Amino acid sequence: MESEITVGDVTVEVVRKKVKNLNLTVHPPHGHVRISAPRRVSMRAIRVFALSKLGWIEKHQARIREQALQAPAEPAPDCEYLDGETHPLWGKPYRLAVLERDRPPSVRLNGDHMHLQVRPRTSRDNRQAVV
């Protein structure tokens, strides 16, 4: 059973399901708010819970909006997937480090670096597919 409540300026989707606790989530890309609640919990208790978490909800919605503004969803069309390029991932820029080895391709994140391991002479399109 699904319903909606409004808390402050925030619309919250309430989903009743077989869970033990109230679970609050804010979903990208638009900051959609959902509470999963046990069937036995009253709507009044759910509303009180949502109201108590209003600051947290607004903070996370703002963070999602900020991330959407900071990084484009797609890399720039002129990317060649070479050492030193910056690539956005999950709203954060990563400096690309390319390792050419005769091993299966892989990607690993380490701090603010994205390590791309590819076989020698791998094309731009194949490098993009790995990332």
45 and 103 assigned to the same domain: no
pLDDT at 70: 65
pLDDT class of 39 with cuts at 50, 70, 90: very high
DSSP-derived secondary structure for 8-55: TTEEEEEEEES-SS-EEEEETTTTEEEEEEETTS-HHHHHHHHHHTHH
18 and 45 assigned to the same domain: yes
The span from the CA of 89 to the CA of 67, in Å, is 10
The answer to whether the beta carbons of residues 80 and 126 sit under 8 Å apart is no
64 and 101 assigned to the same domain: no
Residues in the chain: 131
The answer to whether residue 105 sits within a structural domain is yes
Domain hosting 103: range is 86-130
The answer to whether residue 81 sits within a structural domain is no
The answer to whether residue 101 sits within a structural domain is yes
Instruction: Give the residue-averaged pLDDT of 1-28.
Output: 94
| Domain boundary pick from 46, 70, 94 | 70
Specify the residue for token string 């791998």.
122
The answer to whether residue 111 sits within a structural domain is yes
Distance, C-alpha 43 to centroid of its chain:
29
Q: How many domains does the chain have?
A: 2
The span from the CA of 42 to the CA of 50, in Å, is 13
Instruction: Give the residue-averaged pLDDT of 11-34.
Output: 94
97 and 59 assigned to the same domain: no
pLDDT class of 104 with cuts at 50, 70, 90: very high
Q: Mean pLDDT for the chain?
A: 89
pLDDT, tens digit, 9 for 90 and up, residues 56-100:
999 999 998 887 766 555 556 678 888 889 888 877 888 999 999
The span from the CA of 127 to the CA of 131, in Å, is 6
